[in-house]
Chains A and B, each alone.
Chain A
């Protein structure tokens, strides 16, 4: 079974631009979560989607948004990029929706390395 795939793997943008990252979950998984990882803040939860609905959201500004399609693929968008948005953005999928009940094992992709200049 193929793992979680994320595209692109690397991205360089300038301040003020916007960016869209893509995530394809493991086949059959309906829950997709996004995380930001930086050396200073570690791993931080952005949001989770299940069946095209956002189920939970972390403490990030409205510039960070996402969506999930009917095939469970998900995209994350960051508008008006800031230098501090430089990070590794990780996507994870799981077979069950975790936040309405018990947390379920997540399978992470390799991440997209975003650099904002």
Chain B
């Protein structure tokens, strides 16, 4: 089964760029890598999705190397409201099951 590894927690200050990396193996070769954000007492919220190289949207960038064994979520100029838990999500190559990372708790300080 695919295995994912994320840092458990990260601290940052307002205005800084934050990079969160998820390591993953045995992921489906033809499926996307997805990142979600979750605030307390809410369900996860989609941030960004990519297959390879770099994807950018209005809130984040996602970097995926050619071997797709990791992915890095980049949040530019974080604010206090970015304090949340961030999850990577991959698809297992053998079973097609969805595998969430354990989540990275990002604490943004003023």
Task: Give the B-binding residues of A (Cβ under 8 A).
Answer: 4, 33, 35, 42-45, 48, 56, 58-59, 90, 92, 98-99, 102-103, 105-111
Contacts and interface: CB of A to CB of B under 8 A. Distances in A.
B35 to A, nearest CB: 11
Given A56-B97, A99-B91, A103-B89, A43 B31 contact: no
In which size bucket is the chain B interface?
20 to 34
Among A45, A99, A103, the one with the most B-chain Cβ atoms within 10 Å of its Cβ is: A103
A17 B24 CA distance: 38
Contacts of A42: 87, 100-103
A56 B98 CA distance: 9
Contact of B34 (A4, A103, A107): A103
Interface of B: 30-32, 34, 36, 41-46, 49, 87, 89, 91, 95-103
Main secondary structure of the interface of B (DSSP, over half): loop
Given A103-B34, A105-B34, A90 B43 contact: yes
Given A43-B44, A92-B43, A108-B45, A58 B31 contact: no
A69 B56 CA distance: 37
A108 B44 contact: yes
B101 to A, nearest CB: 8
